[in-house]
């Protein structure tokens, strides 16, 4: 893949090294001149010192042939501008960092491939670490008001029941079932089996209730 990374701090550098090791072609656009020089000395990639929101800089980076663009500057307004510019090019995957979670809806409105909040991701990781054994949070969504969780069905009373017969909280839904290496799109008529790994979308406020129902007391 031909990947352009715009804004290359710690996250960008780690991502670039990983992609380079997998033999992807990487171009880095970095506005800070000193940082750009450091990257040029340590990275096997084309480093362009410039503003990624400048169409001429994007052209120099090879935007016309890019498969993906990763936007990682520290300013959300800059990130949003870059995403809008790149959206004009067809078939480019656009992934952007969200610095301020209150602006996540603005990114989602652009319909880019992914808008990722490092803070939300860290919250999920820390929550998984301190609640290990109850459920695993995959992602925080809706500005933290909802989340996607994975829960292993260990409640014997639900073994053999249809999803529609499980008294789930109204603001939660079983979406996927992983069973013996197979992934099943969950319908209301799907029969649950003990030890199924369930992917559930739920409001954060009832996630503990969902875990209690599916895991049993």
Confidence of residue 117 (pLDDT cuts 50, 70, 90): confident
User: Is a pLDDT exceeding 70 seen at residue 134?
Assistant: no
- Any residues with CB less than 8 A from the CB of 6 and at least 6 apart, and which? 28, 29, 52, 69, 70, 71, 72, 73, 82
- The whole-number average pLDDT for the span 156-170 is 95
Residue 123 is predicted with a pLDDT of 75
Q: Where in the chain is the domain with CATH 3.40.50.720?
A: 2-116
What is the pTM for the complete model shown? Answer: 0.68
Percentage of the chain surpassing pLDDT 70? Answer: 96
Q: Please tell me the distance from the alpha carbon of residue 34 to that of residue 119, in angstroms, as a whole number.
A: 27
Distance from C-alpha of 157 to C-alpha of 185, rounded to nearest angstrom = 22
DSSP state of 190: P
101: phi then psi, degrees, rounded to nearest 5:
-60, -25
Average pLDDT taken over every residue of the chain: 91
pLDDT band at 61 (very low <50, low <70, confident <90, very high): very high
**180-205 pLDDT tens trace:** 989 999 999 999 999 999 999 999 89
**pLDDT of 143 higher than 80:** no
CATH homologous superfamily for 2-116?
Answer: NAD(P)-binding Rossmann-like Domain (3.40.50.720)
Contact yes or no for 215/155 (Cβ under 8 A): yes
Structure tokens at 131: 């609640």
> Would you state the pLDDT for residue 217?
66
What is the location of CATH 3.30.70.1450 in the chain?
126-215
CATH assignment, 126-215? 3.30.70.1450
């Amino acid at each position: 893949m031909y990947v352009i990374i715009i804004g290359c701090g710690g996250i960008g550098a780690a991502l670039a090294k990983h992609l380079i090791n997998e033999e992807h072609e990487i171009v880095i656009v970095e506005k800070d001149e000193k940082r750009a020089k450091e990257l040029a000395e340590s990275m096997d990639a084309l480093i362009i010192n410039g503003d990624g929101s400048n169409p001429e800089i994007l052209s120099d980076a090879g935007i016309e042939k890019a498969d993906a663009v990763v936007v990682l500057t520290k300013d959300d307004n800059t990130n949003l501008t870059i995403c809008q510019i790149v959206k004009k090019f067809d078939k480019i995957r656009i992934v952007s960092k969200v610095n301020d979670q209150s602006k996540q809806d603005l990114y989602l409105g652009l319909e880019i491939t992914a808008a990722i909040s490092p803070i939300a991701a860290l919250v999920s990781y820390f929550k998984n670490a301190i609640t290990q054994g109850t459920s695993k949070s995959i992602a925080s969504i809706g500005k933290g008001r909802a989340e996607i969780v994975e829960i292993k069905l260990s409640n014997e009373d639900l073994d053999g029941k249809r999803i529609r017969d499980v008294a789930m909280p109204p603001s939660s839904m079983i979406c996927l079932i992983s069973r013996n290496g197979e992934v099943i799109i969950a319908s209301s008529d799907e029969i649950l089996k003990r030890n199924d790994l369930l992917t559930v979308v739920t409001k954060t406020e009832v996630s503990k209730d969902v875990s209690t129902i599916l895991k049993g007391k």
